[in-house]
Chains A and B, each alone.
Chain A
Amino acid sequence: DIQMTQSPSAVSASVGDTVTIACRASEDINTFLAWFQQKPGKVPKRLIYATYRLQDGVPSRFSGSGSGTEFTLTITSLQPEDLATYYCLQHRHYPFTFGPGTKVDLK
């Protein structure tokens, strides 16, 4: 099975900061990588698919990059409503696997 790791596990940032979350796959997954945002007590929401494609309605301050085994989610100019846990997901091979999550909160 493909293992997914994320770093950091948590980050505290101020409004307006740029936040970068890294996701690593244990083997090459091409660009079969998606990012999800989950606010406390809420349903996960897809932010980015195919590594860099922004889901309709998602603010352009979110962006994704990478390929192969190394991927990044960047939040430019962090907003209070971005406080959440972010998960990466590989869907190159079954079983699909999520990363452990990165919790973003306000400093």
Chain B
Amino acid sequence: RKEVEQDPGPFNVPEGATVAFNCTYSNSASQSFFWYRQDCRKEPKLLMSVYSSGNEDGRFTAQLNRASQYISLLIRDSKLSDSATYLCVVLPNTGGFKTIFGAGTRLFVKA
């Protein structure tokens, strides 16, 4: 079992749609969680950190379920510019800085 698993997609959605991405992690002691966005031929960029209480940033909502070891990202009112690969990232509780990346979920938003 991979340490961080994501549905690779691709997700093809029309503009304005709501889309949800899921991610599961295997290390129950993991301490921090993030969603990154990566555009084609570019470096990953932090989209949002994920907090236990859930957090929202505009059209984006991230949630963490520690009991189920599950993280989600919800995008509302999808825009063409949301087309990218979304990476689920977990920082294990190993005392170091090495994060574990999911393979990413590709999203295509179409007009």
A binds B: no
Which B residues are closer than 8 A to A by beta carbons? none
Which A residues are closer than 8 A to B by beta carbons? none
